[in-house]
A and B are shown apart, each in its own frame.
Chain A
């Protein structure tokens, strides 16, 4: 994957900055994902080397946490809250609406690479459930119409 290699100088300089700080692995992974959008496989040996860990340990951490991605995400990331408070206000109907409209299961990316769908368990917006997060922005007091409008906006700039 040659384009993954393009990121390596950035990864190496970021590792240089973090590696003295204790327990740096999560901050490192977050920063790589923030900058590249995911954690490229090519970064793993570099991280392992900088932290004096095995590659297996680093991969184990990446796979343990729901947040870390090992492949590029779609243009838009939509995380619908599926926890109890939102369920009590109709989150399951919104989930069905999403599945139907995007032809996706709860955890997938649309074929055109436009929208990635993921569940999330509570956004701290429970006083105004149901809620979702779209590209880092929380929207609460959702309705079917509001959800459609948000999806329209995503599809317009596809």
Chain B
């Protein structure tokens, strides 16, 4: 039988050379008269091993990586003898501790299936959730989502079931499902991986949402920085429509649901749900005051269920396996699993899906393997550009929404950016304010103007030759952080203080301050 190989077509695998490996493999195998079958699958999320080539074997799929095109000749040599002798051989991929210890519910198909193969999707549980939702009907489906304890994965962690019931209970001529795929946070890539790698899962989740709340149309708003996600989703929509999973009679339910992909235009604030709705309406992405909440008056003023990619994609599994199955994962009020994303200065960058509750230390050290540079760990920014810098002393904090809030940090979308001792936290604080200034929608004065003043204050602080001058600037900076935190309409202005205040609190030396000066 022809040996079968698997190599991801994920955009990040390609950004580190997967296509070159594929080309070399196919052409050189042909030169050697070695027939071989290469499938392009989604990525496992073990990005430090990409390009990661896998091959069927009696022990399951065995892996080789990270490969370059230059490794292909020796790889082909090894294949003719004992492949496990190749220096880049990794053995059975699912036995790698990084993967074996994960709890892959949402990313169960990652690295295994071909993104646009309906056949692969169905063979791995695809559309079981939709079938179940149709059998249960809207009322009971909403109850299952409510009972599962699922909370929004976009950052605010609001209980999904409450939103579903609100939209479902509202009468309107038209309702919408909007998927927030703006994933603008540095250090996050789970939405991208899911859209590029398992697009039918998101489509299934949105279809279930549509049937349940009585919305017949949906939009996926994808950031423009993700062109491959856009193209994959568009193709997947056509395939799903042709197979009857979208359209006038979704999965034989007798109910209609269809959707389209819309592309953002490089504005971070359009990740905020009301700015996103304005953007979808063709306007500037300006944050709306709430109330009214989008569930009652959202897109074009009509009831709209807005969810992050991961929230919607969790729904099929919850329906297929039941609310209790999902609740059995996690801790406290953070139930289910979360695909954490390890990024920055970390040896083993990638996706780690685990139940809530493992500690930041386990994530960064056991999975991440410490810093990539080998230098001492300094801090990790958790939850994107509006998240706090967490110092190593706090790494025992469990990854749980409430536990993070208790230390003045946030989990957000689950991204973790690791930094070694060479990263200057004063510069990062300055960057946070500069980013806020650049991305502000302009509605509130503290955010629009205060952020720019904040950059100037940090510049003055760093330039001040003596202690008294520095102290004066610290007082102004803290005051400004307060004004931002309490005087902003949304979290862009409101939480820019998190990275700034945490940098100042835990790393005063980077600002040229004694610990006591920063503490006043």
Contacts and interface: CB of A to CB of B under 8 A. Distances in A.
A85 B420 CA distance: 11
Interface residues of B, number: 57
A26 B343 contact: no
Contact of B283 (A30, A61, A89, A129): A61
Given A84-B385, A126-B189, A26 B262 contact: yes
Contacts of A122: 183-188, 225
Contacts of A7: none
B263 A27 contact: yes
Given A24-B282, A125-B12, A136-B227, A67 B265 contact: yes
Interface stretch (B92-100, B324-332, B344-352): B344-352
Interface in A47-69: 51, 60-61, 64-68
A122 B184 CA distance: 7
A127 B282 contact: no
Given A23-B281, A83-B186, A123 B267 contact: no
Interface size class for chain A?
35 or more
A22 interface: yes
Interface in B359-388: 372, 381, 385
A25 B282 contact: yes
Interface string B30-64: 00000000000000010110100000000000000
Contact of A123 (B225, B279, B372, B423): B225
B341 interface: yes
B475 interface: no
Interface in B262-286: 262-268, 279-285
Contacts of A85: 186-187, 343-344, 417
B345 A88 contact: yes
Interface string A124-138: 111111010100111
A2 B345 CA distance: 51
B234 interface: no
Contacts of A23: 262, 280-282, 300
Contacts of A121: 184, 186, 268, 385, 435, 439
B15 interface: yes
A141 interface: yes
B199 interface: no
Nearest to B186: A83
B104 interface: no
Contact of B15 (A24, A86, A140): A140
Nearest to B46: A127
A67 B226 CA distance: 13
A26 B263 contact: yes
Nearest to B384: A84
A127 B11 contact: no
B496 to A, nearest CB: 13
**Interface-centre pick from A27, A30, A89 (highest chain B CB count, 10 A):** A89
B262 A27 contact: yes
A84 B344 contact: yes
Nearest to B192: A124
B11 A124 contact: yes
Nearest to B270: A65
Contact of B12 (A22, A84, A124, A137): A124
Nearest to B432: A84
B509 interface: no
Given A84-B381, A124-B189, A60 B284 contact: yes
B428 A126 contact: no
Contacts of B428: 84, 87
Contacts of A128: 12, 15-16, 47-48, 50, 349
Contacts of A89: 344-345, 372
B12 A127 contact: yes
Nearest to A133: B225
B215 interface: no
B213 interface: no
Contacts of B506: none
Given A26-B265, A84-B417, A88-B344, A138 B282 contact: no
A140 B281 contact: no
A26 B284 contact: no
A29 interface: yes
Given A27-B262, A64-B267, A84-B385, A124 B188 contact: yes
A144 to B, nearest CB: 15
Contact of B14 (A68, A86, A124, A138): A138
B184 A67 contact: no
B266 A66 contact: yes
B225 A68 contact: no
Nearest to A125: B12
Contacts of A64: 267, 284-285
B48 to A, nearest CB: 7
A120 interface: yes
A136 B431 CA distance: 26
30 contacts: A22-B300, A26-B262, A26-B280, A27-B262, A30-B263, A60-B284, A67-B265, A83-B186, A87-B431, A88-B419, A88-B423, A89-B345, A89-B372, A122-B187, A122-B225, A124-B11, A124-B188, A124-B226, A125-B12, A125-B15, A126-B186, A126-B188, A126-B417, A127-B350, A128-B12, A128-B50, A128-B349, A136-B227, A140-B15, A140-B16
5 smallest CB-CB distances across A and B, nearest first, come from: A25-B282, A127-B349, A126-B343, A65-B265, A83-B186
Interface of B: 11-12, 14-16, 45, 47-48, 50, 183-189, 192, 224-227, 262-268, 279-285, 300, 341-345, 349-351, 372, 381, 385, 415, 417-420, 423, 428, 431, 435, 439
Given A61-B284, A85-B417, A138-B11, 18 more contacts: A27-B263, A30-B224, A51-B282, A61-B283, A64-B285, A65-B265, A85-B187, A88-B419, A122-B185, A124-B225, A125-B15, A126-B186, A126-B187, A127-B342, A128-B47, A128-B50, A129-B343, A138-B15
